[in-house]
Amino acid sequence: MTEKTNSNSSSDSSSDLSNSEQNNQVIHAEENSAKSAALTAFTLVRHDNGIAHLVVDVIGENVNTLKTEFAEQIDAVLAEIKADKTITGIVLCSGKKDSFVAGADINMLDACQSREEVVALSRQGQRIFTLLEQLPIPIVAAIDGTCLGGGLELAMACHARICSDNVKTSLGLPEVQLGLLPGSGGTQRLPKLVGLQKSLDMMLTGKQLRAKQALKAGLVDDVVPNSVLLNVAEQKAISLHQRGKSLTKRKLGLMDKLLENNSVGRNIVYQQAQKTVQAKTQGNYPAPLKIIDCIRTGIEISAEQGYKLEAEHFADLVMSDESAQLRQLFFATTAMKKEQGVANVTPEKITKVGVLGGGLMGGGIAFVTATKANLPVRVKDINHKGISQALKYSYQILNKKVKRRFLLNSEMQKQLAMITGSVDYTGFKAIDIVVEAVFEDLSLKQNMVAEIEENGHENTIFASNTSSLPIGKIAAKAKRPENVIGLHYFSPVDKMPLVEIIPHEKTSDQTISSTVAFAKKQGKTPIVVKDKAGFYVNRILAPYMNEAAILLLDGEPVDKIDKALVKFGFPVGPMQLLDEVGIDVGAKIGPILQADLGERFAAPAAFDKLLADGRLGKKAKKGFYLYQKNNLVKTLQNRLKGIKPGQKQVDESIYSLLNLKPMGSLSAAEISKRCTYMMLNEAARCVDEGIVRNARDGDIGAIFGIGFPPFLGGPLRYIDKIGAKSVVAQLSQWAEQYGERYTPCEALVTMAENSQSYYS
């Protein structure tokens, strides 16, 4: 094979090289060529077979992202391609390892000062990708690694797409997660490739597809090993050139024909999508409905109108407060990934992990350690049943992924092999960090510390997953207290992104940094918090939950309270959350908070009746809601009442148990406001007391730990939005009406007096 770079120099390679060796030579030559090209992210590498490789390699970046300034570079390279009649096809590929194009640079959106600028930016992206699509010769995207957002829009503008079977290869349009929509033609091109229903599913959820899923959906034309990716892409370009760029039409299933091939069927799809969106977003996020509008316009009216509307809706969303907050959250979490637990303290390398306790938490911790951190983990339990539970936890999650073709069976077996179990401490001498997930009993946890100090090595970190016990007390009898730290996960561990890292007074900086690094390897977002009652998340959650309970006792119905907070933006209401977590768990944490922090944390005394009645929540199938399966008669009765199958029903006996008549006089807005303002007040106290390091960590902790509405940016950003003066005035009014628990904290009062805010 002979290669020609921009300077038309050529070099011969032996004809007897394997495909893999040839491919490696091509990659190295193209990487060198891309690096030598002055100040351009796009380099053209010509080959004797008439196929040129267009290499995307953004200088100085770990991954490729599309930037505004690339427009001129792309225009120039497309002009060069058109002018060279020897080029009969293009393979678009990346110079980065495990990354095709990760998306567009979000910073360029924040740089836009007006809606008109954003419209122009979107139209420019559409124009460039249309030029690519209209090239007189075929262009094939060779995708290895992440291909998201603007990267997928770029790939969809090509005439074919071949992707590697690399486990890191993923394709998707996740813009909705930033309160946006694909603004460079994605809403118009994706439906043509994968159909109306699949495109709605992908864009409305931000779902990413693995290679085989993308092939099944029709998003890519072939999936091949990375070693032959470029060769197969070249052959595809040659084939398309020979048959005149004619594209393979998507195969339609029966449901596709019924719902997508006629306007009546499509209307049903649009209406159902709108209903689903409304139910999930409660109208708090404008992006999903605008995505549906763009797709509908492009299909039902014209592509031209679809592109125009896409640019306009994209601009409206970029300028919206919801997207601004979601983008700020993205920047904040990105910045946190670059931080260490303690500045300038390099974490120790962790190679082996231990978990004490094989229950739900222990099983979840073992799962993320093996599958996310890719570290071997030993689960220690007092009996084999606990170990079996931990292994079952991982097997069930991974097996679902295999069934959905998200994971190969061989990969599942490999990951499961990373988890082993033991009823003693065999092998613990080699373990670098042990995560304790046993019962909330102080003496038991202190015994665990002593046993790990005996059976581990001198630097083994002991990380307690306690939700309420002070870490200082757990470490009180330790020989090496500097190795003891809190590592508080949230349930379910495989889904909840947050962990709280809780050092006590004697925890070493090395232990803090190493634990933070370990949590990040598990795919978690860690915040370092002070060792004080409730830490951060439970501390700000408790007043919110208590207020909901007080409203219930004042006669507000259970479902009305929950619906009010879901409408506000929480994923579930406080009463349902209490059922999910366990009413008994809340009862244990309450007295600890009350003893350390005062009477404002006192839970309503009437709740003792719930525990006495065996109402522990979902796990006991008895709480605020019904969890027993309905018989046929009950199902029919519910249908007559308009209650849908699967819809949660309040256990009406809760009212007689608490001697209540659920009349309900407050509006949904008043209910959500009273509960939420209690959380805001406590979050302000936590920042003031240094429980969290800064407002940013406080906001991330609330969003990732308890689902505070992301579109509001977190409790501290929400205080800024309302204004400290307004928050203080409202809390003061309620303090006079309902009691001292509403008294605004000193930090908020000072902010109000000085017109201050948490963020500039």
Task: Measure the CA–CA gap between 347 and 485, rounded to whole angstroms.
Answer: 14
Question: Would you give the DSSP letter of residue 645?
Answer: T
Pairing status of strand 208-210 against strand 170-172: antiparallel
Task: Measure the CA–CA gap between 325 and 717, rounded to whole angstroms.
Answer: 9
pLDDT for position 5: 38
**Host H or E run for residue 701:** helix 695-706
Buried b (16+ CB within 10 A) or exposed e, 294-327: bbbbbbeeeeeebbbbbbbbbbbbbbbebbbbbb
Task: Measure the CA–CA gap between 149 and 129, rounded to whole angstroms.
Answer: 13
The class level of CATH for 353-528 reads: alpha beta
Alpha carbon dihedral 492, 494, 499, 503, in 10-degree steps, equals 100
What's the sign of the alpha-carbon dihedral 509, 513, 514, 515?
positive
- By three-state DSSP, how is residue 494 classified? coil
Residue appearing with tokens 């079977």: 165
Report how far apart, in Å, the C-alpha atoms of 728 and of each of 543, 680, 745, 759 are: 17, 10, 9, 18
Residue 368 and residue 336 in contact, taking contact as beta carbons nearer than 8 Å: no
Residues linked to residue 52 through DSSP beta bridges, in sequence order: 46, 90
pLDDT for position 605: 81
pLDDT for position 640: 65
Question: Would you give the DSSP letter of residue 709?
Answer: -
Contacts for 11 with CB less than 8 Å, ≥ 6 apart: 2, 3, 29
Low-confidence ranges of the chain (pLDDT < 70): 1-38, 245-250, 254, 630-646
Written as one letter, the residue type at 498 is L
Task: Measure the CA–CA gap between 648 and 517, rounded to whole angstroms.
Answer: 40
Task: Measure the CA–CA gap between 626 and 631, rounded to whole angstroms.
Answer: 13
Residue 462 and residue 452 in contact, taking contact as beta carbons nearer than 8 Å: yes
**Host H or E run for residue 332:** helix 321-337
| 580 part of the active site | no
Question: Among residues 234, 257, 175, 231, which one has the least CA distance to residue 23?
Answer: 231
pLDDT for position 329: 95
Question: Would you give the DSSP letter of residue 46?
Answer: E
pLDDT for position 633: 64
Tokens representing 334 are 């990105």
Task: Measure the CA–CA gap between 348 and 486, rounded to whole angstroms.
Answer: 17
Task: Measure the CA–CA gap between 11 and 753, rounded to whole angstroms.
Answer: 74
What's the sign of the alpha-carbon dihedral 523, 527, 528, 529?
negative
The CATH label, of 3.40.190.10, 1.10.1040.50, 1.10.10.10, 3.40.50.300, for the domain at 537-753 is 1.10.1040.50
Identical topology for domains 2-243+253-317 and 353-528: no
pLDDT for position 703: 97
Residue appearing with tokens 């094989």: 358
What is the CATH code of the structural domain delimited by 2-243+253-317? Answer: 3.90.226.10
Residues linked to residue 172 through DSSP beta bridges, in sequence order: 148, 208
The residue from 3, 310, 453, 500 that is catalytic is 500
Task: Measure the CA–CA gap between 737 and 550, rounded to whole angstroms.
Answer: 14
The structural domains of the chain, with segments of one domain joined by +, span 2-243+253-317, 353-528, 537-753
Task: Measure the CA–CA gap between 131 and 679, rounded to whole angstroms.
Answer: 52
Which strands sit side by side in the sheet containing 170-172, from one edge to the other?
99-101, 146-148, 170-172, 208-210
pLDDT for position 638: 59
Residue 176 and residue 205 in contact, taking contact as beta carbons nearer than 8 Å: yes
Written as one letter, the residue type at 607 is F
E-only strand ranges, 621-689: none
Percent helix, strand and coil across the chain, each to the nearest 5:
55, 15, 35
Determine the Cα angle at 156 with ends 155 and 161, to 5°. Answer: 60
Tell me the DSSP string of 184-251: TTHHHHHHHHH-HHHHHHHHHHT-EEEHHHHHHHTS-SEEE-GGGHHHHHHHHHHHHHHTTTPPPPPP
Residue 45 and residue 57 in contact, taking contact as beta carbons nearer than 8 Å: no
